[in-house]
Chain A
Amino acid sequence: MTGTLLVQAQDIVKRRLCGNSLPVQLFSNLQSAETDIYNLLKRTVEYAESNSLLIIGPKSCGKSTLIKKVVSRVKKNENATKNLLVVNLNGYMQTDDRIALDEITRQLQLENTIGDKVFGSFAETLSFLLQALRTGSNESQPILFLLEEFDLFAQHKNQTLLYNLFDIAQAGLTPLAVIGVTCRIDVMELLEKRVKSRFSHRQIFICNTWTFKEYVGAFKDCLQIKVEEKKKKAKWKIFLAKWNKNIDMLSEDLTVLEILEKQFLISQGLSGLQKLLMYPVWLLSNQHPLITPADIEESAKSLFADSKANILHGVSVLELCLIISMNHLMIIHDNQPFNFHMVYNEFLKFSQKKSHILHNYSKAVVLKAFEHLIELELLKTRDHSGIGISKIQKEYQPMVLLVENSQLLEAIGKYPGCPTDVKQWAQSSIV
């Protein structure tokens, strides 16, 4: 029985973590913005007042959640449900105006008015849609255009779509509310001057203004389940009481708090927190019904892991030696590029004088190892433009190392069965 209850609880939390369900209440930093946008949309719906608005804020500060929440709130109003048409566009999906226009036509269900005729050309689609929108008046149904990743729309040719949307919004034709969502602070500079002039310059900035205490509160909100959310069976209540108590305990656990703080210092956004919690929630099963601090620690380990140090665990001792010699070269030559022969000489110095473990590798074998490291992208050719590099013989191409000193030391410390000589060599460049 606990099994099914657990699955239910897991389901609710999973939904939240994946952003499939809207929070009951928005965080305090979004609430004033919510009322503002709500009033704006309400005016569009009730008074046919056209508006344009930009929501700007850093990544994962809740911009999309905010707008989704507002739209769902507006739609609760019967007046709005009957009238408001919503067109959702995303800059990553509608990569040019042509695709965007087709999508708008589809979402407004205008394709029926001309039968199943497939639009011949971009020009036809544009004039068709403009005709549709420009023949409207106050009495037409209001339309909400939601442009996510607004900055990408500004990169379309001539900004035709934005110009026309803003122009219609300013011309008193079909009532439009154009709401752009973007994480680029400098988005206004992207707009062409005539587009900019037509934009109403309403901007709402959203920031994560919370303290660490509030962040821990958000952590609890993410996991805890209120009793009202599901059927009110006694067993469910008991289960939830247990579940919520465990979360309370977690939020007071020192290990958990330490991890949370580490995450908080890097990013205040919710998405980092959600990523952190996904692993422990997915791990739950009948044998393991409650989240433990160890689970979160495990998740944090993989989340904060250094990718390059991880890759270095998988390379051979020869390759590791090559990386060390490259590191030395970088330090000696103050980040100047090196080529294969320099690395080989450095490696020979070490293997001949110091090491007794390493065999005498032929040059060809070392070159092969070198190439393998290039494939792993632990080093790359120096030039930014890349022109002319391919003409140079492989052994003489200027290369730079992409591994930081700290990463290398961390990797060597964890490397299984690393020869002591190599370890010492890595720490001091003296041979």
Chain B
Amino acid sequence: MSTVRKSSRNKEQVKKETAAQKTQPAAFDEESDVVYSWEKSSEITNSHEIKKFKSLINTDSKSLRLYRTIVLTNLDTSAHLKVSVGDGVHIASEDGDNDFYIARVEAMYASGPKSSDMSAIVSWYFKASEIPKSKLPKQLLPNEVFLCTAKAEMDVDAETIINKCHISNTPMQQNDEKTEKIYFCGKSFDGKRFKNIKEAQSGSPAPPPEKKETRREILKKSDYVVKTTMTSPVSASSVGMFDVSSAAMDILHNDDDSDAASFSDEENELEKPQLPTMMKSDEVKDVAPLKVDKRSLNVLSKKTLVVTMRKMNLATPPPDKENQPPDMVRRSSRLSDKKLVLPVKIQQTAKLSDYDSDDLSDDLNDIDAVSESSDDVTSEDDNGDDVTDEESDERLAKRPKRGKNMTSKARQLRQRNDVTSFVTKTRKKRSPHIQPRKTPLKAASSRFEKARENLHVSAVPDALPCRENEFQTIYSFIEGKISSGTGGCMYISGVPGTGKTATMTEVLSSLQRAVDDDGLEAFDYVEINGMRLTEPHQAYVSILKQLTGTKATADHAAQLLTKHFNQRGKKTTLLVVDELDLLWTKKQDVMYHIFDWPSHRHARLIVVAIANTMDLPERLMMNRVSSRLGLTRLSFLPYTFKQLQEIITTRLRGLEAFDADAVQLVARKVAAVSGDARRCLDVCRRAIEIAEKDKRSTKASASIEHVHTSLQEMFASPMVKLIRHSSTHEKIFLRSVVAEFRRSGLEEATVGLVLQHHVALAKLEGLPPPNVTSLIKVCNQLAASRVVLLETGRHDIYARIRLNVSVDDVLFALSDYAS
């Protein structure tokens, strides 16, 4: 993470963004329609940078393109606003149009094949109003914001950016008039306490104090330059160099030759040593993209594919003093390339010139905190590392939600936009996913449709009826362990479809609520499912990934986890292991480890193991494993018919789509067979489908008749039906098999012997007896549908044959034929 942020914020673009910040037109407010488009030329093509960036967003997609600048075009005023990497931005909030969040753009990228899938990686800032009053520091500066160091989703849609702002690291004077979009950030907030960014960055090298004076001088100088160099050839050429989108670039480019030559020399010099040191690599990155820009510049000018940012700036006069023409910055960035050490300061000064320059003398570390210079990037990286190291606070989990809710705003914006070329993708995750559907979903309208929806196994009921006791047992077990800060194991068993996993999920959400409301201590939740692993040892990998987000091989992960659970001073971890029996190995090391960890002194681990069989610990586990599992066991009994009845009735409450008698029939039937709630719901759903299709029925509900049909479909064996409809010779063959069984008194025969019977029977029926090859074909047809079981292998007529149905069934199925 740290390196990427550095890479995305090299010097050149820092300059750009400073420029852009200053050209912020007043016309951009949240009410107007805005079109978003990439500044094509700002695409980052440097493979090194891209690689680093991709590791940040956890993807490896080829179709991903990085950009430095996005252009917001206001449809009403046709004014443009450029947002570049590193800028502070307002991000639309779900609360309403007037509210917004503050963040800083760390990177921007297009994920889809079209340039419309725009996303941005941001780091969040808290406004004072977003932090509970009780936690706010006593001294609050105007427009103070706090860097969010808690874990939060960093990925937002680019369309949620509604405006630009400036986040400074120096406090503003009270009398400063233009403070509306300028924020001060001096502290970070992780949801619990504030940290001074200065302190956090004490490790970063502070610029020597004697340079202060020079800085101020340069500041003044650059201020001066801004006003005078508009027409100077040097600055004009540099415009061509750096602002690729400039319409004038092709003209200017000619003047640029000498400059470019000297520049490329420098470039070569710098590109050779790819040193691992921070500073060095920074420099390399700083220059590399420039080359690309230059190349794409020629292409672009030919295609006249230009977004005339520069023109815009000139056309719309700067609304206030802050909006200095970008040339100034370009000028300084030009300088920066010539003297690689100096530009940092120039930039800073250019930036700081907006404020009281006296502040400069305050603390230079403060400046670093703003991360406007490459030095700062390093220091802020340290900060960023702190974030990852810190355990995420569950209480702060509302932050990531924000990113998701943002989409609603994006949708609103989209609706207001009439620009067809722009397609909104409301995607948040960079992980693999199925594309969203293209046409809207139909909503269930009729009673039957609603009933069907409610009866689907996936439908989440408001409450889980009939499992109150089990719920209470699990809940109090886990809650007790969490609050006492200890660990333990629990084993839950029960046949499939008795609500084990559902109850566990319910417990979990209740615990989560308790954490939010009643101040139960926050805990980490890890879930593994034996069926979702390819082999038992992958359990380690999965746990480690969910716990720390790191990947490792199975063996290494096991070591890391043991180490992790031996550390003291961490939150309680709740580990749910579903389908435990699949984690069985010969040595049982996976099970052993899982049940051994809770017994470590500082582990604070609660393991809830779920499996089908009640006696799994005795039957499958070695003594040392089952001893560690302990005796806290809970068994989910199959649902009784009353419980099943209740489950269906609660799901169908308010919809009179099912007769009470019919419900009882289903419940009784399923309870007699398996007590599987899933099966019960499926039978009901099918019954409703049948009722819906049944046009004869005048009643608008599923009756016993429909349930009966449904049960028949699901429980009846098709064997008899199949035998009834098989071909004549297949029937004769089956009769021959039965005849041979009777003759020999065994339940097994060889094909050759059956064939003799077959020929005789066929003659009896007056049919021409088919030859052996045809008869073997008949036999194979029956074996394919498993009416008979045929020995595999090259045994030909000596292959053994057995019936897969009872003899009585065969005779019953053939009764009408035989008579």
**Smallest CB–CB gap between B736 and chain A, Å?**
14
- Please tell me if the beta carbons of A194 and B437 are within 8 angstroms of each other in the complex: no
- In the complex, the answer to whether A194 meets B781 with C-beta atoms within 8 Å is no
Q: How far is the CA of A128 from the CA of B433 in the complex (A)?
A: 9
B533 at the interface (CB under 8 A from A): yes
Q: Which residue of A lies closest to B793 (CB)?
A: A384
CA distance A198 to B531 in the complex (A): 13
Is A197's CB under 8 angstroms from B497's CB?
A: yes
Contact B771 A131 (CB under 8 A): no
* B531 touching A184, Cβ below 8 Å: no
Q: Are B534 and A186 in contact (CB under 8 A)?
A: no
Q: List residues 732-769 of chain B with CB under 8 A from any CB of chain A.
A: 752, 755, 759, 767-768
B438 to chain A: closest residue by CB: A82
Q: Which of B389-441 contact A (CB under 8 A)?
A: 429, 431-439, 441
Among residues of A, the one whose C-beta sits closest to the C-beta of B538 is A123
Among A121, A209, A267, chain B packs the most CB atoms within 10 A around the CB of: A267
Q: Are A56 and B458 in contact (CB under 8 A)?
A: no
Chain B 560-575 interface residues, beta-carbon cutoff 8 Å to A: none
Check: B616 CB closer than 8 A to any chain A CB. no
**Cβ-based interface call for B288 (8 A):** no
CA A58 to CA B449, docked complex, whole Å: 34
Select the stretch in B164-172, B182-190, B343-351, B715-723 that faces chain A: B715-723
Restricting to A187-238, which residues have a CB under 8 Å from any CB of B? 193-194, 196-198, 200-203, 205, 207-209
- The size class of the interface chain B forms with chain A is 35 or more
Residues of A within 8 A of B777 (CB): 266-267
Q: How long is the Cα–Cα vector from A143 to B534 in the complex, in angstroms?
A: 23
Contact for A265 among B60, B534, B767, CB less than 8 A = B767
Contact B436 A140 (CB under 8 A): yes
By a CB distance below 8 angstroms, the chain A residues around B786 are 184-186
Bound: A97/B718 CA distance, A: 29
Smallest distance from the beta carbon of A96 to chain B beta carbons, Å?
11
Closest Cβ of chain A to B766, distance in Å, is: 12
Binds A, one of B71-79, B262-270, B312-320, B678-686: B678-686
Q: Is the CB of B722 within 8 A of A205?
A: yes
What's the Cα separation between A130 and B683 when bound, in Å? 28
**A335 contacts across to B, CB distance below 8 A:** 752
Q: C-beta contact mask, B764-808 vs A, less than 8 Å → 1, else 0?
A: 000110111110011001001111000001111110000010000
In the complex, A83→B439 CA distance in Å?
Answer: 7
In the complex, the answer to whether B772 meets A140 with C-beta atoms within 8 Å is no
Q: Is the CB of B534 within 8 A of A126?
A: yes
B581: shortest Cβ distance to chain A, in Å? 9
In the assembled complex, the Cα of A39 lies from the Cα of B690 at a distance in Å of 12
Known: A172-B456, A172-B458, A268-B726. A193 touches B772 (CB 8 A): no
Residues of B within 8 A of A173 (CB): 458
Contacting pair B442 A47 (CB below 8 A): yes
Instruction: Tell me which of A49, A123, A185, A406 contacts B772 (CB under 8 A).
Output: A406
Among candidates A135, A186, A205, residue contacting B804 with C-beta atoms closer than 8 Å:
A186
A265 touches B433 (CB 8 A): no
Tell whether, in the assembled complex, residue B722 and residue A83 are in contact, meaning their CB atoms are under 8 Å apart.
no
Q: Which of A114-157 contact B (CB under 8 A)?
A: 114-117, 121-123, 126-133, 135-136, 138-143
Q: When the two chains form their complex, are residues B714 and A202 in contact, meaning their CB atoms are under 8 A apart?
A: yes
Pick from A129, A174, A268 the residue with the most CB of B within 10 Å: A268
Query: Which residues of chain B come closer than 8 Å to A56, judged between CB atoms?
Result: 718
Q: A262-311: which residues lie under 8 A (CB-CB) from chain B?
A: 262, 264-269, 304-309
How many chain A residues sit at the interface, stated as a range, is 35 or more
B784 close to A140 (CB less than 8 A): no
Give, as a whole number of angstroms, the nearest-CB distance from A254 to chain B.
15
Say if the beta carbon of B579 comes within 8 Å of chain A: yes
Beta-carbon contact of A49 and B456 below 8 Å: yes
Residue in contact with A193 in the complex, picked from B612, B752, B767, CB distance below 8 Å: B612
Chain A: CB-nearest residue to B545: A127
The verdict on B659 contacting chain A, using a C-beta distance below 8 Å, is no
| Contact (Cβ within 8 A) B722 A58 | yes
Expressed in whole angstroms, the Cα–Cα distance for A73 and B531 within the complex equals: 35
CA distance A269 to B778 in the complex (A): 12
Q: Is A424 an interface residue (CB 8 A)?
A: no
Q: A67 at interface (Cβ–Cβ under 8 A)?
A: no
How far is it, in angstroms, between the C-alpha of A209 and the C-alpha of B538 when the chains are bound?
A: 50
Interface membership of chain B positions 3-18, coded 1 if the CB is closer than 8 angstroms to chain A and 0 otherwise: 0000000000000000
CB-defined contacts of A172 to chain B, threshold 8 Å:
456, 458-460
Chain B, residue nearest A168 (CB)? B458
Closest to A125 in B: B534
Partner of B781, one of A58, A123, A160: A58
For residue A117, which residues in chain B have a CB less than 8 angstroms away from its CB?
A: 60
CB < 8 Å neighbour of B432 from A128, A196, A269: A128
| Nearest CB in chain B: distance from A132 CB, A | 4
A319 within 8 A of B: no
Does any Cβ of A come within 8 Å of B452's Cβ? Answer: yes
Chain A residues positioned under 8 Å from B438 (CB to CB) = 82-83, 141
Known interface pairs A138-B441, A207-B725; A127-B532 also in contact (CB < 8 Å): yes
- CB <8 Å contact, B682 and A308: no
A126 & B532 in contact (Cβ 8 Å cutoff): yes
- Please, which residues of chain B bring their CB within 8 A of the CB of A58? 722, 726, 781, 784-785
Contacts of B459 in A (CB 8 A): 172
Q: Does B547 contact A (CB under 8 A)?
A: no
Across the interface, do B63 and A112 meet the contact criterion of CB distance under 8 Å? yes
Let me know if A377 is at the binding interface, CB within 8 A.
yes
A170 B678 Cβ-Cβ under 8 A: yes
Determine the residue in chain A with the shortest Cβ distance to B458. Answer: A172
Question: Closest CB-CB distance, A344 to chain B, in whole Å?
Answer: 23
Interface presence of A158 (CB below 8 A): yes
Interface residues of B in 534-557 (CB under 8 A from A): 534-535, 538, 541-542
A113 neighbours in B (Cβ, 8 Å): 59, 61, 432-433
A320 lies within 8 A of chain B by Cβ: no
Q: Are A140 and B432 in contact (CB under 8 A)?
A: no
Q: Per-residue 0/1 for B41-66: is the Cβ within 8 Å of any A Cβ (1 yes, 0 no)?
A: 00000000000000000011111000
A99 at the interface (CB under 8 A from B): no
A193→B675 CA distance, assembly (Å):
13
- Which residues of the other chain, B, contact A82 by a CB distance below 8 angstroms? 437-439
Residues of B within 8 A of A183 (CB): 784-785
Of the listed residues B542, B686, B781, B795, the one surrounded by the most CB atoms of chain A closer than 10 A to its CB is B781
A334 to chain B, nearest CB (A): 11
Which residues of chain A are within 8 angstroms of B444 by Cβ–Cβ distance? 47
**A164 adjacent to chain B (CB < 8 Å):** yes
Q: Does B582 contact A (CB under 8 A)?
A: yes
Complex Cα distance, B533 from A329, in Å, reads 59
Determine the residue in chain B with the shortest Cβ distance to A113: B432
Selected from A158, A193, A200, A264, the residue in CB contact (under 8 A) with B495 is: A193
- Chain B residues lying within 8 Å of A139, measured Cβ to Cβ, are 436-437, 441
Q: Cβ of A404 < 8 Å from any Cβ of B?
A: yes
Quick one: closest A residue to B776, CB to CB? A307
| Contact status B441-A114, CB under 8 Å | no
Give residues 37-62 of A contacting B (CB, 8 Å). Answer: 39, 46-50, 56-59
Of chain B, the residue at the smallest CB distance from A386 is B793
- Is there contact, CB below 8 Å, between B435 and A267? no
Query: CB-CB < 8 A to A346: which residues of B?
Result: none
Is A338's beta carbon under 8 Å from chain B?
no
A37 to B436, CA, bound (A): 24
CB distance from B594 to the nearest CB of A (A): 18
> A114 and B60 in contact (CB under 8 A), knowing A132-B432, A171-B458, A406-B772?
yes
Closest 10 CB pairs of A and B: A172-B458, A197-B496, A207-B725, A132-B432, A306-B771, A205-B718, A115-B60, A140-B434, A82-B438, A170-B457
Can you report 23 residue pairs joining A to B where beta carbons are below 8 Å apart? Answer: A50-B456, A58-B722, A58-B785, A82-B437, A113-B61, A117-B60, A123-B535, A123-B541, A126-B534, A135-B432, A142-B437, A160-B532, A174-B434, A183-B784, A185-B785, A197-B495, A208-B727, A265-B770, A267-B730, A269-B781, A305-B773, A380-B794, A384-B793
Beyond A79-B439, A200-B685, A266-B777, 9 additional pairs, beta carbon < 8 A: A114-B432, A140-B433, A172-B456, A172-B459, A193-B496, A193-B612, A262-B770, A267-B777, A380-B796
